[in-house]
Amino acid sequence: MKRFVPVALVMLLASGCVALPEPVPLSEEFWNDADKTVAIVVENLPPADFMTTGQQGLLDFAINEGANSALNEYLKQLDYSEFAAVAEEFKELLEAGGATVVAVRTSHALPALSRFRSSGNEKHVYARMDYRPLREELGADRLLLISVPTAGVTRSYYGFIPTSDPMAQLVAEGRVVDLETNRLLWRARMDVTLAIPQPWDEPPSFPNASAAFFKAAEQAKVLLKDDFRVRPAEPAGATDSVAR
């Protein structure tokens, strides 16, 4: 959560009631259809940020933000664009498995997408947004999409009182979408949170905090690729659903 998050949302997050998308194991169909082409896209990486969790009011947020302003400003300037190299690593992985990669785009901004409407009669999991319009733009049958919804340093608070040490965090998500049907053939979310060695508060360069952050980013890449290598058969009796 960043900056002025509504109190109701803070309470919801603190109670652990925020639903995260369920993983979708890589479908055997992905490797069996060797004639299908793949486009790899790494979405624009967000600036690293200082994030807070826990029960906080707006005044608490302001106090906590002010107390960590030097770290926050430093994080925003961190260059972790090397994370986007995961696209080439996935390209090698795909080609080694017999897939044809026709496009690789990094630091890419997706166009506005509409919500996908499912008939409810399908037997697979579908992406929440409708990626099918990208089929012509990318010239591919399938999209391998990598995104980073969260990056930076996180710390929990009760009001303005810290309840944990700062932790480096990077959350990476990977999806494979069939661009003809909008079916999800794979979805994984890797939340890597690492302790920052003391001392963490070392302005202006915060060496321990930045080292832990880059380590978290590298671990997230490795975990995504490892998850993608797993090729289990689809479970019997899969139910229809649209991903949330």
Give 213-237 pLDDT, tens digit per residue: 999 999 999 999 999 986 544 444 4
pLDDT per position as a tens digit, 100-129: 999 999 989 999 999 998 766 667 899 999
Q: What pLDDT is recorded for position 229?
A: 81
Q: pTM value?
A: 0.82
Tokens of 40: 């790899």
The low-confidence residues of the chain, meaning pLDDT below 70, are: 1-19, 119-122, 230-244
16 domain-assigned: no
Whole-number pLDDT of residue 120: 64
* Residue 183 belongs to some domain of the structure: yes
| φ, ψ dihedrals at 238, nearest 5° | -65, 140
Is residue 4 assigned to a domain?
no
Per the domain annotation, does 220 fall within a domain? yes
Q: For residues 168 and 193, what is the distance between their CA atoms, to the nearest angstrom?
A: 6
Domain count, the chain: 1
* CA-closest candidate to residue 96, choices 208, 228, 223, 221: 228
Contacts of 230 (CB under 8 A, 6+ apart): 25, 26
Can you read off the two tokens belonging to residue 237? 């009796």
pLDDT (0 to 100) of residue 19: 61
Residues 6 or more apart in contact with residue 73 via CB below 8 angstroms: none
Range of the domain at 119: 22-242
Widest distance between CA atoms in the chain: 57
**What pLDDT is attached to residue 22?**
86
| Alpha helices by DSSP H, the chain | 7-14, 28-32, 58-67, 69-76, 86-96, 134-138, 207-229
3 state DSSP class of 114: coil
Q: Is residue 58 part of a domain?
A: yes
Q: How far is CA 233 from the centre of its chain?
A: 24
Asked, for residue 10, whether it belongs to a domain, the answer is no
- Structural domain includes residue 32: yes
Residue 33 is assigned to a structural domain of this protein: yes
